[in-house]
Structure 1
Amino acid sequence: MKKILILIAIVFVLSSGKNHNNLNIKGKVEGVQSGKVYLQKFYNKMFFVIDSASIVNGEFQFAKNVELPEIYGLTLDTTKSTYLVFLDENPVTVQLDTSTYYRNTVVSGSKLQDQYVEYGKQRGVKIDEFIKANPASLVSAYVFYRYYSYRLSPEEIKSNIQLLNPSLRETPYVRVLTELTETLETVAVGKSAPDFTANDTEGKPRAFSAHLGKGYVLLDFWAAWCGPCRRENPNIVKAYNKYKEKGFDIVAVSLDKNKNSWLDAIAKDNLTWAHVSDLLFWDSEPAKLYGVRAIPANFLIDKNGVIVAKNLRGEDLDKTLGELLD
């Protein structure tokens, strides 16, 4: 694949609206004479197109009123990968390499982007230490939200939120974290599993509670596009075949958005239990109800509808079921 490099000059002119700037983007696309460049807004692990610019003789231009500082995406193809970029009030230049999943993309001028790139180079970073060093940075809020929300307890999330500058409290990232603490407390081990209804593979609504009361049920969150989920599926299949006659069942909730991909993955991975999905990706209502921020994720629920374990994988799932059912 021919390497495509986009050199984008981004100039911001302050407008009268608070935290809003007129975003003027002029750029050149080497090796591409026509097509479109898309500007996307990041929200809930997804990108939504907010503007597009035609490429004419290898050049394009954007003029858009946007919120700054904020997280955006740049891409030539909305069906493929997007390059996440932190934009602030500073002039920015982006050299976008679309041939290697943006591995060689270089952003210059954005202090926030520099900070995010530097974070990515570090290993074993403790989120509380990172926040203390950068309490007012949007990068701190994003890193906390994106990479730590599914690792921490509700108490740890609350304590780290307190370390953030109050200016970040109303960002969508911190709002999600605040709501998440309340949700995680309702789905802790020992709590009753919340009920929900979602469509099965035939498009018929199915209540989760209909599967409870006979034995242990694994509520499994996964997706066809999720590599770790697909690698974990053989372990779940093995456990299901071993314990299904002893009172073990599974209800799988997919975070897919393409129904055909979902159905194909079910067939290829031999997942012969109940499946539901609202096909809303990270806007999945069941996932939100259970505070799922990363997949694979699962909840083991007893016949009384009480959560007895969470995120059992591999040998842990087999061992736990053996202790409960053998």
Structure 2
Amino acid sequence: MRNLISLIAAALVATSASAQPFSLTGTVKGVESGKIYLQRFSNKMFFTIDSADIRNGAFAFSRKPALPELYGLTLQPAGSPYFIFLEDRPITVALDSAKYYSNTIAKGSAAQDFFTAYRSRRDVKIDELIQSAPASIATVYILYRDYSYRLTPDEIDRYVQQLDPSLQQTQYVKVLRELTPVLRKAAVGNKAPDFTLAGVKGETVKLSDHFGKYLLLDFWASWCGPCRRENPNLVKAYEKYKGKGFDIFAVSLDKDKSSWLKGIADDKLAWTHVSDLAFWNSAPAALYGVRAIPSNVLIGPDGVIIARNLRGEELEKKLAEILH
């Protein structure tokens, strides 16, 4: 953590000494001509806001975006972007078209340097991270993106208060402030929020119609690797306990129906499935404060939440306890 603190301190000194306005220029290894797209990050999705021509392997964006903020650079409008934090100073990018993440180099952004250092470590505690750089846009993004799904509402509120006032109006703090009351409402001991959604055949399916058994409300998606790896555990639990008062109700965060249905068939998920095909704008996910998948909520026969995010052996142990 000391190296991270030293890095951000040095970067902030360099930042304060620079009075040059924003510019974003760069090169693209392996591409001589074409287009490069600038995308803004919002709710775990990227949306194209600008493009620039690539000439002789070089590019320059002329329009200043909202700053500071996380953006993405990609060679395809729907492609996977290179994450880059932009600030109001000159930033250069040497983009490797073949290896976005391992070989691309960005210079000029203190937040980018901080984020790169953070990504290289595995033992970072969020309270220490905030203390080291309370005013960095990268810090609030990391809190929002990597930690919010495993924190309690009280912890989220406390960490948000520790951020610099300059970050309080960012989209990330806005989401976190909206998240805490949702998490409190969908906490263990409370009645499970009800919803109605379309099933695999377009039929109307209501969550509360499935109360009466111990019901695992599972949030997943066919595109989610960890979800697909967890599915065999769910299949095993379902087969073992479905005759003892256990059922599963799955909500998919897919956006393509054919991929969703194929995932159900391939993984042999023989329980109720619903989706609004809205990706991270999934209404049930928002209702339960789901910020990462796989995620689940175990609901008792009376419709009251009794546990959250039980996986593998933890789920097996809990089901053995209540359905012995």
TM-score between both structures, scaled by the size of structure 2: 0.89
| Residue equivalent to 1:45 | 44
Greater share of strand: 1
- Check conservation: 1:141, 1:168, Cα contact below 8 A: yes
Q: What CA deviation, in whole Å up to 9, does each residue of 1:53-95 have, x standing for no partner?
A: 3435544443223111111100012333211100001101101
- Check conservation: 1:150, 1:292, Cα contact below 8 A: yes
SS of match in other structure, 1:64 = coil
Instruction: Give 2:166's aligned amino acid.
Output: S
Q: What CA deviation, in whole Å up to 9, does each residue of 1:153-189 have, x standing for no partner?
A: 1111111111111221111101111111111111111
Question: Matches of 1:218 and 1:312 in 2, distance apart?
Answer: 9
| Residue equivalent to 1:273 | 271
1:216 to 214, 217, 228: 214
Displacement after TM superposition at 1:303 (Å) = 1.4
| Residue equivalent to 2:6 | none
| Residue equivalent to 1:165 | 164
Question: Matches of 1:136 and 1:296 in 2, distance apart?
Answer: 31
Change (3 A) 1:251 1:39: same
SS of match in other structure, 2:98 = coil
Question: Matches of 1:53 and 1:289 in 2, distance apart?
Answer: 39
Structure 1 vs Structure 2 CA RMSD = 1.8
Question: Matches of 1:121 and 1:274 in 2, distance apart?
Answer: 40
| Residue equivalent to 1:126 | 125
- Check conservation: 2:25, 2:92, Cα contact below 8 A: no
| Residue equivalent to 2:15 | none
| Residue equivalent to 2:3 | none
SS of match in other structure, 1:174 = helix
2:313 to 309, 315, 319: 315
Change (3 A) 1:162 1:252: same
| Residue equivalent to 2:196 | 197
- Check conservation: 1:23, 1:64, Cα contact below 8 A: no
| Residue equivalent to 1:146 | 145
Question: Matches of 1:58 and 1:126 in 2, distance apart?
Answer: 40
TM alignment of 1:26-45, pairs within 5 A:
26-45=25-44
Change (3 A) 1:251 1:22: farther
TM-score between both structures, scaled by the size of structure 1: 0.89
SS of match in other structure, 1:162 = helix
Matched pairs, number: 305
Unaligned runs of 5+ in 1: 1-20
User: Identity over aligned residues, as a percent?
Assistant: 58
Question: Matches of 1:55 and 1:88 in 2, distance apart?
Answer: 22
Q: Give every structure 1 segment of 4 or more consecutive aligned residues whose post-TM-superposition deviation is greater than 6 Å.
A: none
